[in-house]
């Protein structure tokens, strides 16, 4: 019995209905709907969804608008674990919060001002959240910190995002965070240092970021950090050297950075292996070579060891 189905339509009709045989697929677990891509990337066409999808585990909709019948809503897909909506619209997306078994949620390149989840505490199993390219998303609600199972969060290219909630540090399971190209993000909350599980962080091209919180040095699990093109940052936090598990650091195109905090000397940054930076920053590190003899420097196309 077929349990996975992919439908790729090139139809130019305004509404495309699923084939009738889909309604008979009672054990369907995976459904992937992909629309037609024109000369430029844009949403084209609508797909009308009818049938019984109570057993569906994964739904992906790309480049089209999904219209559900009165009998079929996201709420009725109560076993859904993966939901991916890319350059697409789902009118009933307000029901996403009722999908209590959801593990993966991707709402990429959407014109949404807020995340369509009313009660975050019900999302007990959500591990991966991708909101990349949601360019009008301005902020996350304070209840966002209730996503205690969240391990990966991608907010890259959220150009209007200007702040994170004060209790962002409550995301105690978060391992990977990308805020790349969040150009209006001005600051990080002081609770940021409570992200004890965080291993990989990208703040690259956060041009409006003026400083990192004083709690930044408490990110004891952090292994990889990118501050590339953070042109507003003039200095690193005083306790930056306490990042004892940091292995990779990217400081390229940080035009205003003139010195390193004292905490990076005298045995600070014990695990550091790779530093990417502009050539003019090399003297800052050479002054501390006795403590950084194992570091490899990647400067444009040259390596300094």
- Backbone phi, psi, residue 291, to 5°: -100, -5
DSSP string covering 114-151: S-S-S-GGG-TT--EEE-TT-TT-----GGGGG-TT--
**Distances 22 to 2, 5, 74 between C-alpha atoms, Å:** 10, 9, 17
Has residue 229 got a pLDDT over 50?
yes
> What separation in angstroms does the CA of 272 have from each of 53, 233, 245, 280?
50, 21, 7, 20
Return d(Cα 119, Cα 107) in angstroms, integer. 17
User: Are 34 and 63 spatial neighbours (Cβ–Cβ below 8 Å)?
Assistant: yes
Q: What is the pLDDT of residue 64?
A: 73
6 vs 257, residue with greater confidence: 257
- pLDDT, one tens digit per residue, over 119-163 is 888 899 999 999 999 999 998 999 999 999 999 999 999 999 999
Task: Round to the nearest angstrom and report the end-to-end CA distance of the chain.
Answer: 59
Q: What is the DSSP string of 12-70?
A: -SSEEEPPGGGGG-TT--EEEEE----SSS----EEEE-S--TT--EEEEESSEEEE-S
d(CA 221, CA 202): 14
- More confident of the two residues 95 and 107: 107
Task: State pLDDT tens for residues 140-149.
Answer: 999 999 999 9
**Residue 42 banded pLDDT, cuts 50, 70, 90:** very low
């Amino acid at each position: 019995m077929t349990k996975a189905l992919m439908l790729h339509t090139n139809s130019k009709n305004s509404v495309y209905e699923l084939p009738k045989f889909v309604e008979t697929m009672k054990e369907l677990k995976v459904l992937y709907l992909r629309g037609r891509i024109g000369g430029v990337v844009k949403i084209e066409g609508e797909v009308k969804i009818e049938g019984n999808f109570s057993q569906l585990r994964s739904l992906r909709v790309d480049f089209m608008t999904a219209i559900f019948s009165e009998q079929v809503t996201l709420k009725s897909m109560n076993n859904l674990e993966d939901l991916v909506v890319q350059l697409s619209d789902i009118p009933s997306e307000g029901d996403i919060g009722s999908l209590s078994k959801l593990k993966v949620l991707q709402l990429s390149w959407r014109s949404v001002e807020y995340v369509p989840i009313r009660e975050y505490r019900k999302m007990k199993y959500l591990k991966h959240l991708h909101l990349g390219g949601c360019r009008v998303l301005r902020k996350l609600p304070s209840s966002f910190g209730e996503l205690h199972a969240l391990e990966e969060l991608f907010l890259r290219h959220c150009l209007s995002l200007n702040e994170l909630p004060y209790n962002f540090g409550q995301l105690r399971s978060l391992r990977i965070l990308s805020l790349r190209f969040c150009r209006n993000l001005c600051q990080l909350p002081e609770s940021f240092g409570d992200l004890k599980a965080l291993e990989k962080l990208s703040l690259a091209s956060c041009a409006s970021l003026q400083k990192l919180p004083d709690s930044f040095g408490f990110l004891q699990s952090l292994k990889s950090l990118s501050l590339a093109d953070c042109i507003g940052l003039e200095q690193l936090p005083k306790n930056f050297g306490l990042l004892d598990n940091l292995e990779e650091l990217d400081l390229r195109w940080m035009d205003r950075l003139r010195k390193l905090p004292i905490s990076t000397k005298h045995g600070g940054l014990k695990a550091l292996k790779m530093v990417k930076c502009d050539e003019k920053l090399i003297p800052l590190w050479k002054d501390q070579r006795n403590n950084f003899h194992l570091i490899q420097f990647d400067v444009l196309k040259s390596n300094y060891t």
